[in-house]
Amino acid sequence: MPQNWFGFTVPEVTRTLNVDLNDGLTEAEVAERRIKYGPNELQERSGVSPLRLLWAQFTNT
Protein backbone atom coordinates (compact mmCIF):
# COMPACT_ATOMS: atom_id res chain seq x y z
CA MET A 1 0.00 0.00 0.00
CA PRO A 2 1.40 3.45 -0.89
CA GLN A 3 2.78 5.60 1.92
CA ASN A 4 2.83 9.09 0.37
CA TRP A 5 -0.93 9.66 0.21
CA PHE A 6 -0.47 13.43 -0.23
CA GLY A 7 0.93 12.80 -3.70
CA PHE A 8 -2.17 11.02 -4.99
CA THR A 9 -5.38 12.44 -6.41
CA VAL A 10 -8.69 11.73 -4.69
CA PRO A 11 -9.74 9.23 -7.39
CA GLU A 12 -6.42 7.39 -7.01
CA VAL A 13 -6.84 7.12 -3.25
CA THR A 14 -10.46 5.95 -3.41
CA ARG A 15 -9.57 3.39 -6.09
CA THR A 16 -6.54 2.13 -4.13
CA LEU A 17 -8.54 1.83 -0.90
CA ASN A 18 -11.55 0.39 -2.72
CA VAL A 19 -13.99 2.85 -1.16
CA ASP A 20 -16.87 4.87 -2.58
CA LEU A 21 -16.40 8.60 -2.00
CA ASN A 22 -20.13 9.27 -1.62
CA ASP A 23 -21.22 6.19 0.33
CA GLY A 24 -18.10 5.29 2.31
CA LEU A 25 -17.79 1.75 3.66
CA THR A 26 -20.55 -0.68 4.47
CA GLU A 27 -20.79 -2.05 8.01
CA ALA A 28 -19.46 -5.38 6.73
CA GLU A 29 -16.45 -3.69 5.10
CA VAL A 30 -15.73 -1.77 8.33
CA ALA A 31 -15.80 -4.99 10.36
CA GLU A 32 -13.57 -6.78 7.84
CA ARG A 33 -11.01 -3.96 7.78
CA ARG A 34 -10.94 -3.72 11.58
CA ILE A 35 -10.08 -7.41 11.72
CA LYS A 36 -7.43 -7.03 9.02
CA TYR A 37 -5.85 -3.68 10.04
CA GLY A 38 -6.93 -3.18 13.66
CA PRO A 39 -8.73 -0.19 15.15
CA ASN A 40 -8.38 3.27 13.64
CA GLU A 41 -6.49 4.78 16.57
CA LEU A 42 -3.37 6.86 16.91
CA GLN A 43 -0.62 5.31 18.98
CA GLU A 44 0.37 7.22 22.08
CA ARG A 45 3.80 8.79 21.89
CA SER A 46 6.29 7.89 24.53
CA GLY A 47 9.34 9.69 25.78
CA VAL A 48 10.46 13.28 25.46
CA SER A 49 9.99 15.09 22.16
CA PRO A 50 13.14 16.35 20.41
CA LEU A 51 11.91 19.94 20.72
CA ARG A 52 11.37 19.59 24.48
CA LEU A 53 14.82 18.00 24.82
CA LEU A 54 16.41 20.90 22.93
CA TRP A 55 14.51 23.42 25.07
CA ALA A 56 15.68 21.68 28.24
CA GLN A 57 19.29 21.95 27.08
CA PHE A 58 18.98 25.70 26.57
CA THR A 59 17.16 26.33 29.83
CA ASN A 60 19.31 23.85 31.77
CA THR A 61 16.33 22.11 33.38
SS3 60: coil
pLDDT at 61: 57
Cα(14)–Cα(24) distance, integer angstroms: 10
pLDDT at 53: 85
pLDDT confidence of 1, banded at 50, 70, 90?
A: low
pLDDT at 12: 93
Quick check: 9 pLDDT over 80?
A: yes
pLDDT confidence of 23, banded at 50, 70, 90?
A: very high
Whether the CB-CB separation of 14 and 8 falls below 8 Å is answered with no
pLDDT at 43: 80
Cα(57)–Cα(32) distance, integer angstroms: 48
Type and span of the H or E element at 52:
helix 50-59
Q: Is the entire prediction scored with pTM above 0.85? A: no
Cα(33)–Cα(40) distance, integer angstroms: 10
Cα(52)–Cα(61) distance, integer angstroms: 10
